[in-house]
Amino acid sequence: MGEVEELLTKKVADRYLKREVLGEGTYGVVFKAIDTKTGQTVAIKKIRIGKQKEGVNFTALREIKLLKELKDPNIIELIDAFPHKENLHLVFEFMETDLEAVIRDRNIVLSPADIKSFLQMTLKGLAFCHKKWVLHRDMKPNNLLIGPTGQLKLADFGLARIFGSPDRRFTHQVFARWYRAPELLFGAKQYGPGVDVWAAACIFAELLLRRPFLQGNSDIDQLGKIFAAFGTPKPTQWPDMIYLPDYVEYQYVPGQPLRTLFPMASDDTLDLLSKMFMYDPKSRISAQEALEHRYFTSGPLPTEPVSLPRPPPKKESKASDFNIQDGPTVLSPPRKSRRVMPNRDGPEGSANHVHRIDDHGNERLAGGERSEHAPMSLDFSIFGMKPPVRPTINSADRTHLKRKLDLEFQGPEEQ
């Protein structure tokens, strides 16, 4: 690797200030971090490769590949990716919570308009994936993340695949069982976007009931639960069913009227739900058609995302802000973070562009253009344990300071 490149890599890693661990993902640790370039809070997935015999994890590669193509307000954004110390780091926008936390929080009341809003955002994200020929294949409430402005975004594309080559056979071992469509439970190898729509229907039902709708404890039991709810499908309802690889005949049970399963739901709700829960994937409504269903245009209209109820933010950030041991760590040698950063706001001192240096010569971040993220500002002065490192001024800083001095003579300038 050339020297210049090495420097660049370090600089990229230097860009993010590591914060607390958020959780253990499918293929590595996820931690919170601050992007010093934008002041934005991000979530970084660290994928270990150093010890892997097969290089970059296959699941991670899938996620990278698809998320690079899928840019949509209702799909999690992959902001950046970089290798660092034998790990591949994926930088995502930071999301506060997920739909599962919302559904489980007993203190939250979900109005019909709130449910409509959550479902609409889910279907929008899904319709976008399907338009791009991507199947998500792992739709469930805790993969639907919710951002600081209430935006719901599809995440975790580790199981997602590009479809559209008719000859390709897929595994049916996808989705958490409770969200698995009947064709998958019957072992279908060739399936389409309908599997995601079925899962979205399960999520819709879960929003209405505030508990998972069809909780099977085995694949057989899952089908039993589905049939107990909607009735055993007749060949007229789903002609291709009997040709599916794992098809077994189930004893006929009549379904229950949706009205009894969801007593509080409106007629439009039930109509859309029944279309999303169609047995035959060929007649199941598509995500795009579902968005055009009158459920979304009849009253009450979907709640604005920003007004949606959310669980109270976890206390973690405050606590760790003042916890010396948990203080921000830097991905590259810590000394680097203490370097004086060029003061970019110039003499015009624009209030919305702050990058200050505090008394100890330590860097302080407060927002930048994204002043709404201001609470994420870092104050190193509170980490009094380690003696502050003497600031060094590099040549870039010097030129910047020089320019700043020049500017002061010239007076404020338009940006």
Partner 1 sequence: MAANFWTSTQQKQLLDAEEVDVVHQVDKEMGFTLEDCKLIKMHMANYIARLAQNVKVRQRVVATAVTYMRRVYTRKSMTEYDPRLVAPTCLYLASKAEESTVQARLLVFYIKKLHSDEKYRFEIKEILEMEMKILEALNYYLVVYHPYRALSQLLQDAGMSDATQLAWGLVNDTYKMDLILIHPPHLIALACIYVASVLKDKENTTWFEELRVDMNVVKNIAMEILDFYDSHKMITEERVHLAMHKLGFKQ
Q: Which residues make up each annotated binding site for ATP?
A: 22-30, 45, 51
2 lies in the binding site for partner 1 (CB under 8 A): yes
User: Which of 25, 215, 203 lies closest to 103 in space, CA to CA?
Assistant: 203
- Least distance (Å) between residue 356 CB and partner 1: 33
Distance from C-alpha of 96 to C-alpha of 310, rounded to nearest angstrom: 9
Residue 139: Cβ-neighbour burial (10 angstroms; 0-12, 13-18, 19+) = buried
Among the listed residues 78, 94, 88, 81, the one whose alpha carbon sits nearest the alpha carbon of residue 19: 94
Residue positions forming the annotated binding site: 22-30, 45, 51
Region from 157-165, 229-237, 275-283, 317-325 binding partner 1, contact rule CB under 8 A: 157-165
Considering beta carbons, is residue 160 or 365 the nearer one to partner 1?
Answer: 160
Smallest gap, in angstroms, from Cβ of residue 229 to partner 1?
34
Query: What type of residue sits at position 162?
Result: I
131 binds partner 1 (CB under 8 A): yes
Count residues contacting partner 1 (CB under 8 A)? 26
User: Shortest distance, CB of residue 53 to partner 1, whole angstroms?
Assistant: 7
Closest distance between partner 1 and the C-beta of residue 10, in Å?
A: 13
Phi, psi of 240 (to 5 degrees): -80, -10
User: Which DSSP string corresponds to 219-279?
Assistant: HHHHHHHHHHHH-PPPTTT-TTGGGSTT--PPPP-PPPPHHHHSTT--HHHHHHHHHHT-S
Catalytic residue among 98, 138, 156, 321: 138
Would you count residue 169 as binding partner 1 (CB under 8 A)? no
The rounded distance, in Å, linking the Cα atoms of 48 and 399 is: 39
Q: Is 138 a catalytic residue?
A: yes
Give yes or no for residue 165 binding partner 1 (CB under 8 A): yes
Judged by CB under 8 A, the chain residues 52 through 111 that form the site for partner 1 are 52-56, 58, 61, 64-66, 68-69, 81-83, 88
Contact 39, 376 (CB under 8 A): yes
Closest to partner 1 by CB, 93 vs 363, is 93
Active site residues: 138
Give the binding site for partner 1 (CB under 8 A). Answer: 1-2, 49, 52-56, 58, 61, 64-66, 68-69, 81-83, 88, 131-133, 161-162, 164-165
